[in-house]
């Protein structure tokens, strides 16, 4: 739960974007899309864990169970 996660998501995003561009330039559009998909899924995993923690925190704070 700190800025590192933000950098991690941004880094994965930038790397995925560059990789997709490189693959597209080489004419491998499908692989580029796969890379994008994998990147989105990986980031989604991180974000979903974060969201889960956040919701639990809110629930604990306001005593809603």
Partner 1 sequence: MPAARGEGPVEIVQIVGLGLLAGMLISLLRQHKPELAMQLSIAAGVMLFVLMMAKVLRVVEVMQSLATRAALEQAHMDTVLKIIGIAYIADFGAQVLSDAGEKAVATKVEMAGKIIIMLLAVPIILGVLDAILKLLE
Partner 2 sequence: MTLKLVGAALTVLAPSWIGFQIAARYGRRPVELRGFQNGLAVLVTEVEYGATPMPDALRSAARAAGPVAGAILADAARRLEAGGGITPGEALSDALAEHRGSVCLTPADEEILAALFPVLGASDRHDQVRHLRLALDRLAAAEAEAADERRRYERMYRYVGVLSGLALVLILM
CB-wise, 27 or 63, nearer to partner 1? 63
Interface positions, 10-49, toward partner 2 (CB under 8 A): 11-12, 15-16, 18-19, 22-23, 25-28, 39, 42
What is the token pair recorded at 20? Answer: 């997709």
Binding site for partner 1 (CB under 8 A): 1-3, 5-7, 9-10, 12-14, 16-17, 20-21, 36, 39-40, 43-44, 46-47, 50-51, 53-55, 57-59, 61-64
């Amino acid at each position: 739960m700190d800025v590192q996660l933000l950098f991690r998501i941004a880094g994965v995003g930038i790397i995925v974007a560059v990789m997709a561009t490189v693959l597209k330039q080489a004419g491998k559009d499908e692989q580029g899309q796969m890379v994008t998909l994998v990147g989105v899924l990986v980031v989604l995993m991180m974000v979903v864990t974060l969201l889960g923690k956040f919701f639990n925190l809110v629930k604990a704070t306001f005593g809603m169970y």
